[in-house]
Amino acid sequence: MRLRFSLIWVLWGAMVVRGAAQTVTGPQGEQFTRRVITEKLSDPWEVAYGPDNFLWVTEARGYRVSRINPSTGARQVVLDLSKNREFPRYDKVPDSLDGGKPWPQGGLMGLALHPQLLTGKPYVYLAYIYQFEGAKQPDKGSRPNHGGNYFTTRLVRYEYNAAQQQLTRPVILCDTIPGSNDHNAGRLLIAPVAGRDYLFYSVGDLGAGQFENGGRPNHAQNARFYEGKVLRFSLEPDTDEKPTDQWIPNDNPFNAGVQNAVWSLGHRNAQGLAYAVVGGTGRLYASEHGPFSDDEINLIERGKNYGHPLVIGLTDGNYNGLAAAASDQASLPGRWHTTYPTISSEKANATLLGANYRDPIASLYPLSNAFLTTVLTRIRSHTPDDPTWNSEAPSSLAVYTATAIPGWQNSLLIPTLKKGKLIRLKLTANGSGVASDTLMYFKGPVRYRDLAFSPDGTKLYLATDSASITSGPSEEAPKGTACQGCLLEFTYVSGGTATTPTQGSSTMTPEKAFQTTMSLVKSLKPKDRRVKRAGLPAAQQPVFDLFLKPEMTAEEKTRAQRSAPALLVALRQQ
């Protein structure tokens, strides 16, 4: 595994030399050229293609907003917010000096450009974390008993002065959005509702229930709190008496008694928001991190509940008896030592949530209850060989509506952090569901953070993280990155097909499954073999052992061939 990954790293790294264009091929024969526009950005978080034909980029750790020429890579910093951050760069301060205080997940995050940016409404909307409760406290500044790290996020509107190429005249929309060192989500989007544009902002559940926030209360199901929500704000203030109310639409769904920005609830960490008109209907989509499995694609609707932390992914029962996290801290509540509730029954919880509950339109990738039980049990007992699991960590989302690439029109494009790829999912004709297999592009040892594309759809722009991991480290997360803080341009050249494989259409013969399983098992390191075996159902473990033997008897090979397709599926789920 290590040798194979190192080879991929070398080959991929050789192909992202700045300025040099290389050709890459997609799974349906699409040909793209790839080049680096710029690099060494301080963790680019948002990239948007502006009406000025420049890429607008936020740097999460650098707290800068820049306009970047996609042709030359020339960069103009239009705003430096580093002085608005009321805490230091903890990631650059030795723990011996700051007590090990955490950096928030993100920092300067979302950016949205007003549709009329160059024609009378020169507004740019930004979201950034500006305050840390523990900044002046000793040690880590966390609340006791894993009570969490409390940051605060500010949502601001700036005006773009095109002559000076600067963002000026800030106006605060909201400066009380809770934050954390985990699950801040942080994506901004302008999208219409009933013909009028609004500003949407995603807030994660702040990691309340896992790691250092294991004892922090989780409010994703409580509409009075902004954690675990998609919020909706107006693009311009109204005439409400209170300044804090003027940016909140008066017809928001949870406004009874007090103005409330909540638009939908029950989210874990929705780092992707996208809007598109598909089949004549405008729809708002979100991509969301799952805990160990079940990364979600949701269709966001007014006032609807997406289940977290009572339902994970589809209402299929794979989390029955489990929770969205576990810890080895016996002082924390419940069977799994976390403030995440134990899920007795996903189906019963969905029924309890009522008619407003919504399943995701896609779930990547549901794991079995037996495997998930193994994962949580090992975490709770602090077992050294923690099982690995298959998930993608979707960091953003876009809807490709152009016709430039055959077969791509009305596809969801999902950059991922865990395995460094762009996922494409073809939508159904009316946009209410997913109609294709998971197609994967541009895989490499990077963490893709966001994407944008040119108006004609021929160029895709992908931003990569500067670091290799954030929270919740994964065995398969890229160890080092081949292009740190980069903007990559993928230009469509030719090829592709107008048809997309439908779900369940792919098949594999037993012999092919046997050979693929053999290759996979033989490539595993000894520790990974133990972990993979422990994650299998008991009936499959003896079959797994057959693939470890130097030679099989004829009877054993027949048994292995017969069982290989199901075993391969189980191994790939981990």
User: Which residue's structure tokens are 């952090």?
Assistant: 417
Instruction: Provide the token pair at 570.
Output: 């189980």
Contact (CB, 8 A) for 434 and 362: yes
Where the chain has pLDDT below 70, the residues are: 1-20, 386-387, 468-481, 500-508, 572-574
| 62: DSSP letter | T
528 is in which domain, residue-wise?
510-573
What amino acid is encoded at 149 in this protein?
N
Residue 176 domain-assigned (yes or no): no
Residue 336 domain-assigned (yes or no): no
Instruction: Provide the token pair at 367.
Output: 């794991």
**Nearest in space to 354 (alpha carbons), one of 255, 256, 265:** 265
Residue 150 domain-assigned (yes or no): no
Q: What is the DSSP string of 161-208?
A: ETTTTEEEEEEEEEEEEEE-SS-----EEEEEETTEEEEEEEE--TTT
Q: What is the pLDDT of residue 437?
A: 81
Give the per-residue SS3 of 251-306: CCCCCCCCCCCEEEECCCCCCEEEEEEECCEEEEEEEECCCCCCEEEEEECCCCEC
**Nearest in space to 486 (alpha carbons), one of 185, 110, 55:** 55
First to last CA, the chain: 15
Region of 300 on the Ramachandran plot (φ > 0 left; ψ -120 to 50 alpha; else beta): beta
Q: What backbone phi and psi angles, to 5 degrees, belong to 148?
A: 110, 165
Residue 564 domain-assigned (yes or no): yes
Q: What is the pLDDT of residue 569?
A: 75
Contact (CB, 8 A) for 546 and 522: no
Residue 435 domain-assigned (yes or no): no
User: Which residue's structure tokens are 């098949």?
Assistant: 507
Q: What is the pLDDT of residue 469?
A: 55
Residue 534 domain-assigned (yes or no): yes
Residue 456 domain-assigned (yes or no): no
Cα dihedral sign for 346, 351, 353, 357? positive
Q: How far is CA 422 from the centre of its chain?
A: 12
CA separation for the pair 291, 307 (Å, rounded) = 13
List residues bridging with 153 in a β-sheet.
129, 177
CA separation for the pair 514, 558 (Å, rounded) = 10
Number of domain units in the chain? 1
Cα dihedral sign for 228, 391, 387, 377? positive
Half-sphere exposure of 355 (CA within 13 A, CB side): 1
Q: What is the pLDDT of residue 3?
A: 39
Q: For the chain, how long is the longest CA-to-CA vector?
A: 82
Question: What are the angstrom distances between the C-alpha of 261 and each of 125, 337, 490?
Answer: 16, 32, 37
Q: How many residues does the chain have?
A: 574
What residue ranges in 95-165 does DSSP mark as E strands? 108-113, 123-132, 151-161
Residue 375 domain-assigned (yes or no): no
Q: What is the pLDDT of residue 35?
A: 96
Q: What is the pLDDT of residue 468?
A: 62
pTM for the structure as a whole: 0.89
